[in-house]
Amino acid sequence: MTSLQYMSGFGNEFSSEDPRCPGSLPEGQNNPQVSPYGLYAEQLSGSAFTCPRPANKRSWLYRILPSVKHKPFTSVPCGDLTENWNEVEPDPNQLRWLPFTIPKATEKKVDFVAGLHTVCGAGDAKSRNGIGVHVYTCNTSMVDRCFNNSDGDFLIVPQQGEILITTEFGKMMVEPNEICVIQQGMCFSVDVFGETRGYILEVYGAHFELPDLGPIGANGLANPRDFLCPVAWYEDRKVPTGYTVINKYQGKLFACQQDFSPFNVVAWHGNYTPYKYNLKNFMVINCVAFDHADPSIFTVLTAKSTRPGVAIADFVIFPPRWGVADHTFRPPYYHRKTHPGGASLHSIMTPHGPDVDCFEKNSTAELKPERVAEGTMVNKQNIYMVNT
């Protein structure tokens, strides 16, 4: 397909209109009596109206038909998606999952929504405080179906196979070693190109933001300019047989029908958008003398809690980098805190760290400069749950 276009920046005030409809963005106001081309003006809010300006998130969408034009929602099966953490007894032991099996398309066609599997979580979508960790496995594209999450934001991490995500704001191609964030309330559909698998970190009641840099200074880690937001794209398509909108609400799935594509936004402006980021652009900060810095220096995005300095969830990576520390055991140290396609869980205050072979090898290794994690990328969703 034709190379997709993007706009650069994190949390910027963006504006975009499909070039097929020049002048479709109203000038000087958000909600004119009659919008250009007879479009409907619709605001999507990602925060309360009265939030302070730095935290106020909203975008104005100009669409062919308003999104309210749908039939009633009805409950549908949730499959392996859940937020009932009481289904299993608490277990403080270190847990590890083998790679989740991707169904063969010849045996059963599974799209992104049908292939969602919850691994773990904490908190509650109803109280707007907590997280869910999911895996998706799928082999077919979503056809005349889209997904909308009323509970929170999805941070999507492809592990196998690229995904083409169509949103109300435009299209994004997301490949392994990239991430994307679809924020609360945004409709999206996922196209795949074979057997596909990845991870999802969902947060309730907060949005992802860049971590504060403190003494690092003005630059470093994930730089704002490297985040990419889609440009406006629309389809004016009727679906007489019915288009299905699947909504995640209070941990359950609901579906409604409409007779048109929801991706009918001709133009939009605002600071509440989906976005993607290539992890190779992460500017690593590392120790150059001795000992380890804490893994928080590898934080790409954070979702802050109401408690200063404590996150609901951090998304952390361990990218390829130079290891040069002297007189130091270079692998991650043993600690207590909160495989490709697999997953592991280290519960709060359960000790974990390197295994025996790793310990013995690195306790006697010659400490010369070396490339660490070359040819691999470890994504670590560090989760700190705060009870409020």
A 10 A CB-CB count for 205 gives: 21
Q: How confident is the model at residue 18 (pLDDT cuts 50, 70, 90)?
A: very high
In angstroms, the CA 266 to CA 261 distance is 12
Does the pLDDT of residue 2 top 70, yes or no? no
**Angle (nearest 5°) at CA 319 between 314 and 325:** 105
Does the pLDDT of residue 179 top 80, yes or no? yes
In angstroms, the CA 10 to CA 58 distance is 14
**Angle (nearest 5°) at CA 147 between 55 and 22:** 70
| DSSP label of 356 | H
Mean pLDDT of 46-64: 95
From residue 260, give the alpha-carbon distance in Å to each of 44, 237, 239.
19, 6, 5
In angstroms, the CA 108 to CA 49 distance is 45
pLDDT number for residue 368: 75
Does the pLDDT of residue 383 top 60, yes or no? no
In angstroms, the CA 183 to CA 363 distance is 44
Report the chain's terminal Cα–Cα distance, integer Å: 47
Burial 329-360 (b: 16+ CB within 10 A, else e): bbbeeeeebbeebebebbbeeeeeebeeeeee
Burial level of 82, CB count in 10 A (0-12/13-18/19+)?
Answer: middle
How far is CA 327 from its chain centroid? 38
Does the pLDDT of residue 354 top 90, yes or no? no
Q: How confident is the model at residue 362 (pLDDT cuts 50, 70, 90)?
A: confident
pLDDT number for residue 363: 79
Q: How confident is the model at residue 385 (pLDDT cuts 50, 70, 90)?
A: very low
In angstroms, the CA 85 to CA 139 distance is 28
The catalytic site residues sit at 292
Helix (H) or strand (E) holding 197: strand 196-204
Does the pLDDT of residue 117 top 60, yes or no? yes
In angstroms, the CA 224 to CA 160 distance is 26
pLDDT number for residue 379: 60
pLDDT number for residue 340: 59
pLDDT number for residue 1: 53
% pLDDT > 90, the chain: 70
For 256-292, how does the pLDDT look when each residue is reduced to its tens digit (9 = 90+)?
999 999 999 999 999 999 999 999 999 999 888 888 8
Count of helix runs (H) and strand runs (E) in the chain: 1, 26
Tell whether residue 117 is among the known ligand binding residues: no
Mean pLDDT of 203-225: 94
pLDDT number for residue 337: 53
Predicted TM-score (pTM) of this structure: 0.91
From residue 371, give the alpha-carbon distance in Å to each of 34, 35, 63, 343.
60, 56, 50, 24
pLDDT number for residue 274: 98
Does the pLDDT of residue 382 top 50, yes or no? no
pLDDT number for residue 248: 97
Q: How confident is the model at residue 249 (pLDDT cuts 50, 70, 90)?
A: very high
Does the pLDDT of residue 60 top 90, yes or no? yes
CB neighbour list of residue 39: distance below 8 Å, 6 or more residues apart: 24, 62, 63, 64, 266, 267
In angstroms, the CA 129 to CA 134 distance is 17
Does the pLDDT of residue 338 top 70, yes or no? no
Does the pLDDT of residue 203 top 60, yes or no? yes
Tell whether residue 269 is among the known ligand binding residues: no
pLDDT number for residue 295: 84
* 203: its two tokens: 């947060």
* Under 8 Å between Cβ of 109 and 350: no
In angstroms, the CA 364 to CA 267 distance is 61
- Sheet holding 275-278: strands in order across? 6-8, 227-230, 275-278, 178-182, 152-160, 196-204, 129-138, 116-124
Does the pLDDT of residue 36 top 90, yes or no? yes
Beta strands 145-149 and 238-249 are parallel
What SS3 state is found at 110?
A: coil
Q: How confident is the model at residue 377 (pLDDT cuts 50, 70, 90)?
A: low
Q: Looking at 157-171, 187-201, 283-297, which range is the least confident one?
A: 283-297
Q: Average model confidence (pLDDT) for the chain?
A: 90
Does the pLDDT of residue 251 top 80, yes or no? yes
Burial level of 181, CB count in 10 A (0-12/13-18/19+)?
Answer: buried
